[in-house]
Amino acid sequence: MSTEVIPEHVAVIGGGAWGTALACAARRAGNDVVLWARNAQVVDDINNGIGNPLYLPDVALDAGIRATTNMAEALEDAFAILLVVPSQRMRDVIAPVADFCAGRPVALCSKGVERSTGMLMSEVAEACLPDAEVAVLSGPTFAREVALGLPTAVTLAAEKTWVQDAVLKAVGLPTFRPYVTDDVIGAEVGGAVKNVLAIACGIVTGRELGENARAALVTRGLAEVMRLAEKLGGRAETIMGLSGMGDLTLTCNSPQSRNMSFGIELGRGRSVQEILDERRAVTEGVWSAESVTALARKHGVEMPICEAVNAIVTGNADIDATIQTLLNRPFRAEGA
């Protein structure tokens, strides 16, 4: 690949399925795109016109998407940066490149809470990239559908209008529609917690407990998301939008979701490690279960479904006994 830097391009940091899909959206929006990936095979495949068969097979990529393992090359002269690395690795990836991000919009496109600190991704970014302009891009998205150009809507959260405008320029399309808000916290909490709840819905499906049970989980799970978001300073209206209810609806109703499919296999009796050993892509909810529940406890927020998932995923709790504990909780008002 030539080391010539494309002026005024979109930088996508992360060569997994979601990063590749966002690169497709940015290219369709009329931008030159430079994608950074740690995996040299991913870079070679993209630059040789093969696509990204390791993470997003059978999807053709536009020739205007270039890939590199050189972070500086990807970031230099980018007018917008899409940060699409797993939440638990974000700090390690972005800390060394802080100088390249100064004054530029950095859209956080990964969902989770950092296990070691309990920080939301925006807090991690603000600590590591103090001079960047942080935004959050979150919502009901399956990477393959975005890559193929199928209609999708997401939440774009940023406090500054010009930052919203820059990210809209980077990825906004009739078929990829960001709806803007200044509620960064609400957009983040919805994305982080839904991964944990999707595992719960998968367990219910794998245990064949029925559609009624799954609908109850989604609804009561939404109440947990809202309680945590409001406690941290987010707004209920954001949780009722694309990054909350929308994302929860998608992820908890389709085995295409890595988190739900993980829960299905758990519900069928397989072990956490056995399932993870078969997967190339990261299942964020596995790592977020512990950090989300720790964050909730820290702020005195009751989240029994997330606590149950955490007990199963990290504490090897018996699934049937854990479900029974949830069912035996005291009756209460629905709004409580």
Q: Which of 153, 182, 211 is the last residue of a domain?
A: 182
pLDDT in the model for residue 5: 52
Number of domains in the chain: 2
Give the integer Cα–Cα distance in Å for 37 and 40: 7
pTM of the model: 0.92
User: Which amino acids are annotated catalytic?
Assistant: 194
User: Does 1 reside within a domain?
Assistant: no
Residue 39, phi then psi, degrees to nearest 5: -80, 115
pLDDT in the model for residue 2: 44
User: What's at 215, amino acid-wise?
Assistant: A
Half-sphere exposure for 116 (CA within 13 Å, toward CB): 7
Residue 185 makes CB contacts below 8 A (sequence gap 6+) with: 120, 122, 229, 232, 233, 234
What mean pLDDT is predicted for residues 15-24?
97
pLDDT in the model for residue 324: 94
Q: Which of 134, 163, 182 is the last residue of a domain?
A: 182
Owning domain of residue 58: 9-182
pLDDT band at 6 (very low <50, low <70, confident <90, very high): low
pLDDT > 90? residue 74: yes
pLDDT band at 294 (very low <50, low <70, confident <90, very high): very high
Asked if 133 and 73 sit in the same domain, the reply is yes
Question: Is 37:56 a contact under the CB 8 Å cutoff?
Answer: no
Residues forming a β-bridge with 143: none
Asked if 148 and 260 sit in the same domain, the reply is no
Give the integer Cα–Cα distance in Å for 242 and 245: 6
Question: Is 3:66 a contact under the CB 8 Å cutoff?
Answer: no
Asked if 178 and 193 sit in the same domain, the reply is no
Asked if 137 and 244 sit in the same domain, the reply is no
Total number of residues shown for the chain: 336
Asked if 41 and 102 sit in the same domain, the reply is yes
Give the integer Cα–Cα distance in Å for 115 and 86: 12
Q: What is the pLDDT of residues 270-282, one digit of tens each?
A: 999 999 888 877 7
Q: What is the pLDDT of residues 203-250, one digit of tens each?
A: 999 999 999 999 999 999 999 999 999 999 999 999 999 999 999 999
- At 234 the three-state DSSP class reads coil
Asked if 170 and 296 sit in the same domain, the reply is no
User: Does 256 reside within a domain?
Assistant: yes
Which pair of structure tokens corresponds to residue 135?
């935004």
Task: Please report, for the domain that includes residue 271, its CATH number.
Answer: 1.10.1040.10
Helical ranges in 48-183 per DSSP H: 71-75, 90-94, 98-101, 121-128, 143-147, 161-171
Asked if 195 and 289 sit in the same domain, the reply is yes
Which pair of structure tokens corresponds to residue 128?
């590591």
Asked if 176 and 294 sit in the same domain, the reply is no
Asked if 292 and 310 sit in the same domain, the reply is yes
Task: Please report, for the domain that includes residue 66, its CATH number.
Answer: 3.40.50.720
User: Does 158 reside within a domain?
Assistant: yes
Asked if 31 and 86 sit in the same domain, the reply is yes
Q: Which of 166, 182, 198 is the last residue of a domain?
A: 182
Q: What is the pLDDT of residues 35-71, one digit of tens each?
A: 999 999 999 999 999 999 999 999 999 999 999 999 9
Average pLDDT of the residues of the chain: 93
Asked if 178 and 229 sit in the same domain, the reply is no
pLDDT > 80? residue 4: no
Asked if 148 and 109 sit in the same domain, the reply is yes
